[in-house]
Amino acid sequence: MSDFWKDLTRPFFLLAPMEDVTDTVFRELVMSVSSGSHLRVLFTEFTSVDGICHPKGRDAVIHRLMVNASERKILSELNARLVVQIWGNDPEKFFEASRFIKDNFWFDGIDINMGCPAEKIVKQGSCSALIGQHTRVSEIIQAVRESSGMPVSVKTRTGLREHATESWISHLLQCKLSAITLHARTQRMMSLKPAEWDQIALAVKLRNSIAPEVKLIGNGDVADTQHGLKLIESTGADGAMIGRGIFSDPWFFNSTSHERNMQEKLHLLRKHIILFSGTWPEGRNFNILKRFFKIYVHGFDGAAALRAQLMETSRPETAIQIIDEYL
């Protein structure tokens, strides 16, 4: 498989992998309102290699790898790429999971989560707990690359309790990766303190001297696309990854920047509900959708009351009826 990362031209944006957020439905919704943007790479929700490798556990995580045909179509139209993100701590499980993904799905690359700071994950020795474990990390990356034949990337943080950018990123740059996304915070900082993009600039300097072919992407506190482009320019990064910013504006990546009116927001929410119910007619909890309601239902008269009414629903048909009556 060819390495798409090599063909990406600076600057570009990426939509971050997010738990119970970046499923095939939400990715399609974001892309549907992102024409004319620099959005080039999207990620699945992060998926456990232990879950993929377990015959029964696989049933609980396989939905994370779902890709609708309609999403495939819009990916092609935007010339965007879709990368699966996986996490764990056992090189053998990474090997097995990557082989399963290769044999059963089509993605443009595999990303390894070495950045999530959630306590329950860290206690398992996974994600950001891997920072600084050079030997194990090298084995994991090699296992994924050998078993999948896909471009391999890593999303990580600058350190555990303190920034260790120089030693940590220097090691990753010697692991034959295609791209590194660096969240400009330590594990300890979680998302509670401002991202420190000077660490991205340091990582870029390391990249330029050690492995200039590796794409280096910054992540953390990007307010909007113009802000992202300024951060890319000032640090020398190739791109910027957007996570929480998408919750304030689904049109984050749209090249036409203007305040969206009530009709636009509610029509997009309506589309989201219909696509969700069509994709998951059974098996996924409708309550997952409720975390999105605030994204669309805000900034207009009566938004709070409408949102409260929608939060009381338990079926997509009821929510759509309420939206239609409001419109």
Tokens of residue 58, six digits: 């696989």
Inter-axis angle of helices 165-172 and 198-210, nearest 10: 40
> How far is Cα 168 from Cα 137, in angstroms, rounded to an integer?
11
Query: With the CA atoms of 135, 191, 66 and 112 taken in that order, what torsion angle do they form, in degrees rounded to the nearest 10?
Result: -10
The closest of 136, 214, 127, 209 to 177, measured between CA atoms, is 214
For residue 78, give every residue at least 6 positions away whose Cβ sits within 8 Å of its Cβ, in sequence order, or none. Answer: 31, 34, 35, 39
Q: How many CA atoms lie within 13 A of 184 on its CB side?
A: 27
The single residue listed with the structure tokens 């080039």 is: 40
Which one from 53, 116, 127, 175 is the annotated catalytic residue?
116
Q: Among this protein's residues, is 127 annotated catalytic?
A: no
> How far is Cα 11 from Cα 226, in angstroms, rounded to an integer?
11
Q: Cα dist. 173→78, 90, 170, 275 in Å?
A: 29, 21, 5, 40
- Most distant CA pair in the chain: distance in Å? 60
> How far is Cα 298 from Cα 304, in angstroms, rounded to an integer?
7
For residue 139, give every residue at least 6 positions away whose Cβ sits within 8 Å of its Cβ, in sequence order, or none. Answer: 91
Taking CB atoms within 8 Å and a gap of at least 24, the contacts of 9-12 are 10/232, 10/238, 10/239, 11/38, 11/228, 11/229, 11/232, 11/233, 11/238, 11/239, 11/240, 12/38, 12/39, 12/40, 12/41, 12/238, 12/239
Q: Give catalytic residue positions.
A: 116
